[in-house]
Amino acid sequence: MKFHVLANTILLTIAAACLPAMAHETATMFEPGTISNGGVFGLTLSPDGAHGLWVHSGGGRDRLVIMEALKRHGKWQSQSEVSFSGNPAWKNIDPAFSPDGKQVIFQSNRPVPGNPDRKGFDIWSVTRTANGWSEPVHLGNVINTDESESSASMASNGSIYFHKAIGGDSDLWISRLVKGEYQTPENMGMPINTTVARESNPYIAPDESYLIYFSDIERAPDAPDLFISFRENGGWSTPKRIDAPINSDVSEFTPWMYDGRLYFSRQMKREGGFIENIYSHPFDPKQVR
């Protein structure tokens, strides 16, 4: 996929002008002008940091495709659409590497085997092979339902944390992997989920010791921030809003931790869509705790 350099430059200039000064000066844009071109979000990195996947949105939601690039000798190489994106009419979002790097889960609204009338997003999986990506595998109709499941993140034990909206409640859920089968999802409940705000975009630590996610509880409905909660005594601690320069006066979402840095997306509204790019900043969950 080719991007127009002039359009990218204009979008990045607008983004720079609109961002709060401190956030722009201290949060680092990821590969500005090439990968972060004003219409991307949702970066995931392999455990060795040499393989990146993200969503190309073009600043809208009409077409959503997953892109990838490899890092060689410290430089990101040319990007391309992943082979498992499939039909251009399908929307594919929220790729996430498994902690061992062998698998990527993502969400798609492509037809579901045996359930062709389902319209929302379901969770799918691909594996890395010597020849590239495998064919996508639907993760079944226990973790997936007729509601949309999205923003999934996997722990080392295979448990998947994800977002689902039911009856107007936008909550985080978990499905545990038991003997190779995903179990009936459980609502994470309080204090993670609330009845007055949206919760979405979970990143679960590989050992499930902490959870980073977005909530608009403090600035509903248009500007979600990133929060963190820690596993404590079999439950979850009271979530804490992450400080600037990670959170800012605009929207932050799709967190991903890698090598002591928190990668996230930042979004601003513009006429007809969004300006959205990927950023990162050093972050140590232990210091927050």
User: 124-140 pLDDT, tens per residue?
Assistant: 999 998 889 999 999 99
What does the alpha-carbon distance between residue 74 and residue 78 come to, in Å, rounded to a whole number? Answer: 13
CA atoms within 13 A on the CB side of 143: 31
Q: Residue 54: what pLDDT?
A: 98
Q: What is the DSSP letter of 283?
A: -
Q: Residue 167: what pLDDT?
A: 78
Q: Residue 79: what pLDDT?
A: 97
Query: Whole-model pTM?
Result: 0.89
What does the alpha-carbon distance between residue 180 and residue 97 come to, in Å, rounded to a whole number? Answer: 18
Give, rounded to a whole angstrom, the gap between the first and last alpha carbons of the chain. Answer: 42
Secondary structure of residue 264 in the 3-state scheme:
strand
Sign of CA dihedral 37, 47, 176, 172: negative
Q: Is 285 left (phi over 0), alpha (psi -120 to 50) or beta?
A: alpha
Q: Residue 221: what pLDDT?
A: 57
The whole-angstrom distance between residue 218's C-alpha and the CA centroid of its chain comes to: 21
Q: Residue 34: what pLDDT?
A: 94
Give the range of the structural domain holding residue 258, as residue numbers without chain letter: 5-288
Low-confidence stretches of the chain (pLDDT beneath 50)? 1-24
Q: Residue 33: what pLDDT?
A: 94
What does the alpha-carbon distance between residue 125 and residue 103 come to, in Å, rounded to a whole number? Answer: 7
Count of structural domains, the chain: 1
Secondary structure of residue 118 in the 3-state scheme:
coil
CATH number of the domain residue 194 falls in: 2.120.10.30
Instruction: Tell me the one-letter amino acid at 152.
Output: A
Which residues are CB-neighbours of 183 under 8 A, at least 6 positions away?
142, 143, 175, 176, 177
Q: Residue 220: what pLDDT?
A: 55
